[in-house]
Amino acid sequence: MTRRTMTALALALLASGCGTGDSGDSGTNSTPVATAPATPSPTPAPAPSPSPTPSPTSFTYEQAIGLRRDRTWTGYDLYSALLTKDRKTSVELSSSDTAVTSFTDATGAMTLAGFEDLSPKGGFGSSADWKQSRNDNEVFYRSTSTTAARTEVGLYSMPSAFQYMLVSSYDGDKVERGALIGSPTFPADLARFTSRTYQAAVGENYDKPQPEKRKPVVFDLAKGIVSGKVIWIDVDDVADAGGKPRDVEVELSGTIDKSNHIAGTTRLADGSTGSFRGRLYGPAGAELGMIVTLKLGDGYQVKALQGTVQ
């Protein structure tokens, strides 16, 4: 706003002298009485200029989908599981804000953040020991080595459901690893909101969406609290009467910090527990992505919880 100034107006007071004459012999004349000049009013101080309204900060987000060009993504939320006869006997969750996942379109080679100890020199797909399968939204490799255990590794996006996150995965005979990567929401972009609510489910197959199974996950951003009860679809270790995996309700209780890091615990009605870790993705926290675990019996279940803002 243009600075506005107030101009002071000077007020002049005019003093006038009056004489009166008496008839008679006295012959005395009245003496004019001097009038003291009035004290001038002080000049008002200029009004302060209002502070300019700051312009909204704009944030740029690159869509995570699309694997027909060179790509990089920074940061991850990851699980790493040790396997015994295909059963997860231990699970660890970890996160990074700086590690970089990269993909080279010309060769299809991938360097997966958090998988460095498992990767061959030059990245996955950098040698003839890997058979490639790819399309616009997936790059998948299977080990062809006759001297090593069969291994599958890939990058997968879900363009029909999510624009700002994708999954990297490694499936070996003794180690299984998976991560959510993409374009996390800038913390300053989230600071505009006091709450966000997402419709989400655990383990939903987005090739065959099941929107009726999505339930609300509530983020109280003012208090940093995350809560909700969601459906975990087809839990392998919780079978129905016919022996098929069935759905269970999972209670989520956790926090989100000022850096957009989400963490907390999971609980079933029978007392089984686990944990979760993740973050929000895209403009204004458009998408929710978390790695979710449950300890069931002598093993673990691990799936991704993904959702979109209401």
CA distance 260 to 190: 8
Q: Give me the mean pLDDT over the 160-183 stretch.
A: 95
pLDDT at 226: 98
What CATH number does residue 217 fall under? 2.40.160.90
Q: Are residues 288 and 198 in the same domain?
A: yes
pLDDT digits (tens, 9 = 90+) for 81-106: 999 988 999 999 999 999 999 999 99
Give percent of the chain with pLDDT exceeding 90. 61
Q: Are residues 166 and 188 in the same domain?
A: no
Q: What is the pTM of this model?
A: 0.79
pLDDT in tens, 257-297: 999 999 999 999 999 999 999 999 999 999 999 999 999 98
Q: Smallest Cα–Cα separation from 303: which of 169, 114, 138, 152?
A: 169
Strand ranges for the chain from DSSP E = 71-84, 87-103, 110-111, 130-134, 138-143, 152-157, 165-171, 175-182, 195-202, 215-220, 225-239, 245-256, 262-267, 273-281, 287-296, 299-309
32 found inside a domain: no
Distance CA 75, CA 101 (A): 8
In the block, residue with structure tokens 């002071």: 8
Regarding whether 175 and 246 lie in a shared domain, the answer is no
Q: Write out the residue range of the structural domain in which residue 232 sits.
A: 184-310
**Which of 141, 156, 183 is where one domain is finished?**
183
